């Protein structure tokens, strides 16, 4: 009986020891499971943090272009739906949004470089990198805009099925910067070419009157007859005027390029400007014994304009000088009229006119329609810049053989817009 009791106690002790050992093992196992779960959670947090901050969309897709997993919603904040979605639907491709609302169903999808590249990668079971292309994507306001992207694909298999990890990098901002840099480079190269052309033209234009002044000054020193001296003096005076005008034009062009051309605004009596210029060129025409009548056309009411008086007179004087230069006989009319909220200035002549194919070149630099006439071809280019700075528009209407009308407009409320 005692032996039986001892055996029972021993068996109970063994069972208790086994139970205690089993509980310890369970606790160890639970601790291990918790460690693994915590590690898994930390890994998931790190993984999600990476996906949210890599500045690229990651798409885990199957062979049918269905998106199984993506970080798109975490990055953009868009609401994720339970509906199966394809690559084009997710990226809001314009073909999907505008036509069938299903990626791959539109006729345009056959030419989609992204779709064809991914399809090729699945068929060949190979990866691809840095496919550079563009997408027309739909924004939150329903508008479409062009978006440039780099796309790479990593092929893999899972449970015997084909999948691919596709990364989409938005490089639109980089493309914009690249285009701006390209434009800046082209502008710099253009400025360099202009500088070379400008120096070449100016060296030639300045040398012509300068040589005339030097040459006839030497002849003047040895001339014996008064009539001969008067002729040489007149030639020297004309070339001196031309040289002064060239220097003035060069300075104006340089200031325009540097953005330092000065403008002084004040109240301007427009009628008085037209009358003064008309009288001045009438006297000049009479001194040159031309067969040209100077006509003046102004409204009866005096108009006052808040502008730069000297710059207005510079433009009108240039128009008048050209009109007299290219008109042998007839009339040259200077005037202005009220036109909506603008004052419309014009100089009209009955000269030789301008050929239709030359009209679009008339305000370009160094354009000379008649090489027999003096001038560097800078005056009208300067006039265009001045008028634009004054807030107006400039143009020319002409019929070859009948005459031309050069005009420009200045807003009458320019003072309010300064």
Question: pLDDT higher for 66 or 21?
Answer: 66
Two tokens, residue 69: 């997993």
Give the pLDDT confidence score for residue 417 in this predicted structure.
38
Domain ranges of the chain: 52-170, 173-261, 264-418
Q: How far apart are CA 82 and CA 60, in angstroms?
A: 16
* Domain 52-170: CATH class, spelled out: alpha beta
Span 173-261 CATH architecture: Orthogonal Bundle (1.10)
Helix (H, G, I), strand (E, B) or coil at 250: helix
Of the ranges 26-30, 108-112, 144-148, 255-259, which one carries the lowest mean pLDDT score?
A: 26-30
Burial of 155 (0-12, 13-18, 19+ CB in 10 A): middle
Could you read off the pLDDT of 314-370 as tens digits, one per residue? 899 989 988 888 888 889 999 999 888 889 999 999 988 888 888 888 888 766 666
Question: Structure pTM?
Answer: 0.52
For residue 313, which of 261, 262, 256, 270 has the smallest C-alpha distance?
Answer: 270
Bridge partner residues of 404 (DSSP): 398
Mean local confidence (pLDDT), 191-214? 71
Q: How far apart are CA 240 and CA 185, in angstroms?
A: 40
The CATH code that applies to domain 264-418 is 3.30.565.10
Query: CB 170: neighbour CB atoms within 10 A?
Result: 16
Burial of 220 (0-12, 13-18, 19+ CB in 10 A): middle
Q: How far apart are CA 9 and CA 20, in angstroms?
A: 16
Could you read off the pLDDT of 39-54 as tens digits, one per residue? 666 665 665 666 566 6
Of the ranges 218-227, 248-257, 386-395, which one carries the lowest mean pLDDT score?
A: 248-257
């Amino acid at each position: 009986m005692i032996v039986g009791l001892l055996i029972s106690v021993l068996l109970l002790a063994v069972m208790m020891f086994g139970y205690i050992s089993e509980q310890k093992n369970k606790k160890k196992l639970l601790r291990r499971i918790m460690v693994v779960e915590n590690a898994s959670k930390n890994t998931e947090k790190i993984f999600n943090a990476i996906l949210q901050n890599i500045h690229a969309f990651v798409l885990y897709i199957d062979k049918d272009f269905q998106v199984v997993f993506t970080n798109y919603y975490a990055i953009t904040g868009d609401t994720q739906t339970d509906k199966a979605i394809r690559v084009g639907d997710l990226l809001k491709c314009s073909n999907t949004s505008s036509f069938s609302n299903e990626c791959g169903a539109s006729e345009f999808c056959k030419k989609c470089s992204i779709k064809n590249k991914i399809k090729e990668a699945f068929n060949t079971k190979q990866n691809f990198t840095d496919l550079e292309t563009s997408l027309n994507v739909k924004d939150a306001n329903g508008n479409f805009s062009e978006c440039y992207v780099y796309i790479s694909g990593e092929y893999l298999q899972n449970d015997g099925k084909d999948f691919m990890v596709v990364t989409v990098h938005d490089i639109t901002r980089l493309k914009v910067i690249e285009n701006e840099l390209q434009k800046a480079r082209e502008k710099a190269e253009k400025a360099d070419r202009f500088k070379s052309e400008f120096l070449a033209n100016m060296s030639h234009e300045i040398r012509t009157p300068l040589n005339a002044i030097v040459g006839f000054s030497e002849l003047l020193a040895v001339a014996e007859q008064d009539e001969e001296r008067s002729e040489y003096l007149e030639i020297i005076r004309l070339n001196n005027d031309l040289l002064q005008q060239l220097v003035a034009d060069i300075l104006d062009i340089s200031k325009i390029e540097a953005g330092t051309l000065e403008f002084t605004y004040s109240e301007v009596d427009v009628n008085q400007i037209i009358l003064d210029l008309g009288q001045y060129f009438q006297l000049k025409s009479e001194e040159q014994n031309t067969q040209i009548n100077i006509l003046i056309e102004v409204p009866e009411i005096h108009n006052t304009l808040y502008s730069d008086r000297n710059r207005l007179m510079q433009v009108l004087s240039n128009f008048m000088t050209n009109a007299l230069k290219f008109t042998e006989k007839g009339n040259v009319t200077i005037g202005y009229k009220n036109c909506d909220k603008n004052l419309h200035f014009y100089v009209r002549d009955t000269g030789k006119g301008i050929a239709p194919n030359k009209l679009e070149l008339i305000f370009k630099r160094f354009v000379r329609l008649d090489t027999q006439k003096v001038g560097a071809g800078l005056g009208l280019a300067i006039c265009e810049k001045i008028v634009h700075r004054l807030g107006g528009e400039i143009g020319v209407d002409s019929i070859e053989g009948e005459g031309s009308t050069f005009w420009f407009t200045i807003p009458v409320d320019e003072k309010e817009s300064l």
